[in-house]
Chains A and B, each alone.
Chain A
Amino acid sequence: MNPFVRCLLVTAAIQAATAAIPTGAFANDDILKNQKDPSNWALQLGNYAGQRYSTLDQITRDNVKNLRPVWQFSTGVLRGHEGGPIVVGDTMYISTPFPNNVYALDLNDNGRIKWKYEPRQDSSVIPVMCCDTVTRGVAVAGNKLFLGQADNTLVALDTETGKVLWSAKNGDASKGETLTAAPLVVKDKVYVGISGGEFGVRGHLTAYDINSGKMVWRAYSTGPDKDVMIDPQKTMMLGKPIGEPDLGIKTWPADQWKIGGGTTWGWYTYDPDLNLIYYGTGNPGTWNPAQRAVDKDRAKSDNKWSMTIFARDADTGQAKWVFQKTPFDEWDYDGVNENILADVTVGGAKRKALINFDRNGFAYTIDRTNGELLVAQKYDPSVNWASEIDMKTGRPKVNDKYSTFAQGEDHNTTGVCPAALGSKDQQPASYSPDSGLIYVPTNHICMDYEPFKVEYSAGQPYVGATLSMYPAPDSHGGMGNFIAWDPSAGKIVWSKPERFAVWSGALSTKGGVGFYGTLEGYLKAFDLKDGKDLYNFKTSSGIIGNVNTYMHKGKQYIAVLSGVGGWAGIGLAAGLTGEQEGLGAVGAHKALGEYTQLGGTLTVFALPDTQ
């Protein structure tokens, strides 16, 4: 049967089946309840606010040294394992890279497999996944589990049986579109983004009805206001209405916006009080800025709304406010990183804030009610492409020496910090309400960047630049730092060097201890006070997944997926160029391949029972 017809029939059957069930309760009532109970790890980012913080406190800075692995589970899949386990009640849900298997593991029975979902996907999608066949995990709401498959299929599975309830097609792999992001569920909608920024994909965020799988709205990242779901008279930018219509067309040459990128493969957060969802759009396509310049003039070429934080009404999708971090990107500072929601004091006043650690090396603290910029500072001292962010315009003051546009096509612009990987990539940070600080896994890598002209061809790479990356010069020689950040002051509180980029999502807990993984494969516990290493264990493969915690039968556990890959695995497997730059102790060896190999494994840690 034609899959589309089958999908329609299945959808129809589901609608018929669910018609009899009262569906008055919204799924996010259930999610809100689940995330309030610290026994669960209910969302990929811990809660709607994206804080990755847990009030569990059995594991403390004093006893964490006794931590040990208590069970493991092979996912049976190699390749990069991003995202992490979801725990709701007695069940843990994990998903794998392509072919995107999902396992429901019974915590009452030592992780016995309750069910396994194994989709059949055309392998031709593999090579259009720019940076490995990753997925950033599943979402669970009520009796449904949502998974974005590589081949752009969004599926809803029954959490009890793993049976497909409905599926929807969100994109077309033959155009380079893929799906890697974790969905987010709010009320009766599930939101998914799209990947393919290196293939000339036109990004969008799409809302589907959780019961029927029907598309409710789709908000593009580029193009006319109608498509972007902007009202220039109402949608705010820097505290004022945007005013001018259709900037999503005017800030591009000719029809370039149609292949303009702005993909949405990062994380989505939600404020239930404001009823706003937040997410970032990625880099404009191509990486060669000259092809995106209007009249060869940077000032006319913002390439909106790439590189933009969107706040949208969760119901209608209408944009409430926008903030473009890197207008006219010239470095691939793909602006999709998570927006952490926290109430922080800025200039003596308590603000409903949003904190974003952008790839471009600046950390932004923004008023999440209206998009007003409060703080913007570098969170890695090596950042040099811009000297500062103008607090009035929100624009970076670009240093022409590191401007790949000013230096020109076919010119190798050297010494740009950060590299295209950004000072931070997709690895989500963690905010502790106890300390008021954010614990951030970062990259410490710089680059040479030479843009050149490329042709667009559907489904083919649309890059147009050559890059060499190397550890940040004149530093500790390592390629990463793990830092604590003060979002009120915009200052690094402490920073510890890492040999490799830290590509794993962080966790902070009420026990005063935090966790993250490293590319060599270490799970590390650190003291939230000063970053001091309190415990480490080398898992079977490099960690690019996010560390989670949950409680089962009164006992706290730490869980993480190992499985090296992702862009880190591609860029760092063989080490970087410019080894001579990294003479520090940390950077003595740089080929990740010398430390770890592929392999997906879940590892669960706990304190000994006698503790």
Chain B
Amino acid sequence: MPKYLIGLCAAVGFTATVTLGTAFGQQDAAQKPEQSPTPPNQTQTAQTPATQSPTTQAPTGGNAAQEAKVADPEELVDDQGVPLYAVRDGKVDQGTYNGYRRYASSCHVCHGPDGLGSSFAPALADSLKRMDYWQFTDVVTNGRKNMGATGDKVMPTFGSDPNVMLNLADIYRYLKARSDDKIGRGRPERFKAPS
């Protein structure tokens, strides 16, 4: 499925599965002693305790995905198949980063910067507090119309748009991380390969 990886990996120097595996391994270690609610990490600077495990954002499974093994971004999903993001030291996994870019290209034009909504379309950082991955997938793929007194709101069908459909899980990862206040506004930084 994730053809995007081919292009992106080459381009951004995201080197190998091993690297990411290490990164998540560290995160898993760091997350254990962590207290529960953490402030939004707006500045994306390194506040080590402010990192979150992928598990806290699984919309369906509660803690079921706590031990989600993360060896490869393709597998960064819970046991229900719901994509997971990872934030460590304010930095994100490759998929979430890719989701940021794809959001900016395909969604931003209506839904505003950073998932914050606009005068035209709702704030998805807010919507994903209520909407699970499967509903999200349904609406993006098939579109939706809300007619009302405040004007027609129409979500188009993106089912035929490869820029969206091939990156849907990543767009979800990014927005879910925004929705959970785990990443701030603007461009998130990626985990770097240790030098």
Give the interface of A toward B (CB within 8 A). 77-80, 98-99, 123-124, 126-128, 130-133, 198, 409-410, 412, 448, 450, 452-455, 457, 459-461, 463-469, 564-565, 569-571, 573-578, 598
Q: Is the CB of A598 within 8 A of B119?
A: yes
B112 in complex: contacting residue of A77, A457, A570, CB < 8 Å:
A570
Complex A-B, nearest 3 residue pairs according to Cβ-Cβ distance, in ascending order: A569-B119, A466-B104, A574-B116
Asked whether, in the complex, the Cβ of A127 is within 8 Å of the Cβ of B117, the reply is: no
* 26 A-B pairs with C-beta separation under 8 A: A98-B152, A127-B154, A128-B156, A132-B119, A198-B109, A452-B11, A452-B105, A453-B7, A457-B160, A457-B162, A460-B164, A461-B105, A461-B161, A461-B163, A466-B100, A466-B101, A466-B103, A466-B104, A466-B105, A468-B187, A565-B120, A569-B119, A570-B119, A573-B116, A573-B118, A577-B114
Query: Is the beta-carbon distance between B156 and A127 smaller than 8 angstroms?
Result: yes
Determine if A570 and B110 form an interchain contact, defined as CB atoms under 8 angstroms apart.
Answer: yes
- CB of B151 within 8 A of CB of A78, answer yes
Answer whether A464 and B105 are a contact pair too, CB < 8 Å, given A454-B163, A457-B160. yes
State whether B119 touches A79 (Cβ < 8 A). yes
Give CA–CA (A467, B103) in the complex, Å: 11
Q: How far is the CA of A573 from the CA of B108 in the complex (A)?
A: 12
**B151 to A77, Cβ gap below 8 A?**
yes
Q: A128-B156, A410-B8, A466-B101 are in contact. Are A569 and B118 (CB under 8 A)?
A: yes
Chain B residues close to A by CB (< 8 Å) = 7-8, 11-12, 100-101, 103-106, 108-110, 112-114, 116-121, 123, 143, 145, 147, 150-156, 158, 160-164, 185-187
The residue on B at minimum CB distance from A597 is B119
Chain B residues with Cβ below 8 Å from A467 are 104, 108
Q: Return chain B residues, CB-CB under 8 Å to A130.
A: 109
Which B residues touch A132, using CB under 8 A? 119-120
**Nearest chain B CB to A519 CB, angstrom units:** 10
With a CB–CB cut-off of 8 A, which chain B residues contact A469?
113
Is A577 in contact with B113, judged by CB distance below 8 angstroms? yes
Given the complex, which residues of A lie within 8 Å of B103, measured CB to CB?
Answer: 466
Residues of A within 8 A of B101 (CB): 450, 452, 466
Contact A463 B113 (CB under 8 A): no
Are B155 and A457 closer than 8 Å at their CB atoms? no
CA distance A68 to B150 in the complex (A): 29
| Inter-subunit contact B109/A570 (CB<8 Å) | yes
The closest CB in chain A to the CB of B166 belongs to: A455
A578 touches B186 (CB 8 A): yes
From A131, A459, A460, A465, residue with most partner B Cβ within 10 Å: A460
Highest count of chain A CB atoms <10 Å: which of B11, B100, B143: B11
Contacting residues, chain B, for A409 (C-beta < 8 A): 11
Name the B residues within 8 Å of A412 (CB-CB). Answer: 187
CA distance in complex: A198, B144 (Å): 21
10 new A-B contacts, CB < 8 A, other than A123-B152, A571-B112, are A79-B120, A79-B151, A452-B11, A460-B106, A461-B163, A569-B118, A569-B120, A573-B112, A575-B116, A577-B114
What residues on A are CB-neighbors of B104 within 8 Å? 463, 465-467
Q: Please, which residues of chain B bring their CB within 8 A of the CB of A575?
A: 116
Contacts of B119 in A (CB 8 A): 79-80, 132, 564-565, 569-570, 573, 598
Task: Report the separation of the CA atoms of residues A482 and B6 in the bound assembly, to the nearest whole angstrom.
Answer: 47
Chain A residues whose C-beta falls within 8 Å of the C-beta of B110 in the assembled complex: 127, 570
Docked CA distance A464–B4 (Å): 13
User: Smallest Cβ distance from B98 to chain A, in angstroms?
Assistant: 9
Tell whether, in the assembled complex, residue A455 and residue B162 are in contact, meaning their CB atoms are under 8 Å apart.
yes
- The CA-CA distance from A460 to B109 in the complex, in Å, is 12
Minimum distance in angstroms from A454 CB to a CB of chain B: 5
Compute how far the CA of A80 lies from the CA of B151 in the bound complex, rounded to whole angstroms.
11
Shortest distance in angstroms between B118's beta carbon and chain A's nearest beta carbon? 4
Are A410's CB and B12's CB within 8 A?
Answer: yes
List the B side residues contacting A577 at CB < 8 Å: 113-114, 185-186
Residue of B nearest to A125 (CB): B154
For A576, the closest partner residue in chain B by CB is B113
Partner of A465, one of B105, B120, B147, B156: B105
Query: In the complex where A463-B105, A565-B120 touch, is A127 in contact with B187 (Cβ < 8 A)?
Result: no
Shortest distance from the beta carbon of B144 to any chain A beta carbon, whole Å: 10
Min CB distance B2 to A, Å, is: 15
List, in ascending order, chain A residues with CB within 8 A of B11's CB: 409-410, 452
Complex Cα–Cα for A577 and B115 (A): 12
